[in-house]
């Protein structure tokens, strides 16, 4: 009853129970925080707005494949047309087929945004970081809701939570079809609070009233 094994077991179990309890309490304490964040987004300029043949998303993925250092001393990239009309790149003998049939067209836009936000009230002592991103939301005849993330950032500490940033969209503003001409859309600022332990929670601020131009340029 008093052997080393029993004592170690008892200490460990007790320690883990207390730790679990403290983590739960830390998470509960997050509920007492009532955040009042504020933000403002201004679109300075629509840089370009084009219809493209083939989908730029896939080209971006291919560039990533190359940069992932696929052990490349010999050989090179060759293009190969597969029987099902996919266009593939072949490195040495390993085909990397990232393209769907290339008669897909996509419309995409590039914007420059001015983002001012004050998210300091979201931080508690149990917060590890806040992930903030901006999504454009719009409706099309085929889709009831489309949400496209344009920009995101990680705020590691309270000091950085009040910021002003001017940036182009980090991710392509691209639609599944050709529905973006003259489209009205909302810009929504989402934040996702990631705690040191416990429950994560997220919320958003909707800023309506933006519009893409009628004509491509």
Question: Which residues of the shown chain bind another protein in the complex (CB under 8 A)?
Answer: 5, 9, 23, 27, 57-58, 60-61, 63-65, 67, 86, 97-98, 100, 128-129, 131, 133, 135, 141-149, 152, 154, 156, 171, 176, 190, 192, 194-200, 202, 204
- How many residues would you count in the chain? 217
Q: How far apart are the first and last CA of the chain?
A: 82
Nearest approach in angstroms of CB 159 to another protein is: 16
Shortest separation between residue 133's beta carbon and another protein, angstroms: 6
Q: How far is residue 114's CA from residue 118's CA, in Å, rounded to a whole number?
A: 14
* Smallest separation (angstroms) from another protein to the CB of 107: 14
44 vs 82, beta carbon nearer another protein: 82
CB of 56 to another protein, least distance (A): 12
165/200 with CB nearer another protein = 200
The smaller minimum CB distance to another protein, of residues 119 and 146, is found at: 146
* Cβ–Cβ < 8 Å for 148, 174: yes
Distance CA 158, CA 162 (A): 8
Measured from the CB atom, the residue of 49 and 189 that comes closer to another protein is: 189
Name the minimum Å distance from CB 47 to another protein. Answer: 20
Q: Which is nearer to another protein, 184 or 199 (CB)?
A: 199
Minimum Å gap between C-beta 36 and another protein is: 20
Phi, psi for 16 (deg, rounded to 5):
-70, -35
Q: What is the distance between the alpha carbons of residues 156 and 105, in angstroms, rounded to a whole number?
A: 39
Q: How far is CA 93 from the centre of its chain?
A: 34
Task: Name which of 119, 117, 121, 112 is nearest 164 in CA terms.
Answer: 117
Interatomic CA distance for residues 94 and 210, integer angstroms: 45
The rounded Cα 180 to chain-centroid distance in angstroms is 21
CB atoms within 10 A of CB 173: 19
Q: Considering beta carbons, is residue 18 or 154 the nearer one to another protein?
A: 154
């Amino acid at each position: 009853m008093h052997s080393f094994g029993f004592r170690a077991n008892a200490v460990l179990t007790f320690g883990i129970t207390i730790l679990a309890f403290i983590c739960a309490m830390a998470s509960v304490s997050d509920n007492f925080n009532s955040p009042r964040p504020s933000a403002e987004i201004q679109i300075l300029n629509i840089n370009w707005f084009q219809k493209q043949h083939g989908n730029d998303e896939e080209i971006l993925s291919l560039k990533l494949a190359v940069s992932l250092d696929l052990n490349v001393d010999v050989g090179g990239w060759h293009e190969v047309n597969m029987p099902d009309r996919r266009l593939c790149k072949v490195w040495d003998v390993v085909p990397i087929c990232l393209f769907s049939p290339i008669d897909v067209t996509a419309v995409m836009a590039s914007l420059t945004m001015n983002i001012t936000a004050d998210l300091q009230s979201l931080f508690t002592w149990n917060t590890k970081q806040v992930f903030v991103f901006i999504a454009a939301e719009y409706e099309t005849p085929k889709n009831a809701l489309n949400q496209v993330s344009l920009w995101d950032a990680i705020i590691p500490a309270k000091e950085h939570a009040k910021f002003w940033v001017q940036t182009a969209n980090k991710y392509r503003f691209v639609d599944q079809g050709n529905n973006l001409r003259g489209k009205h859309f909302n810009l929504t600022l989402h934040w996702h609070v990631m705690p040191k332990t416990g429950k994560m929670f997220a919320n958003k601020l909707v800023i309506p009233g933006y519009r893409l131009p009628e004509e491509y340029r």
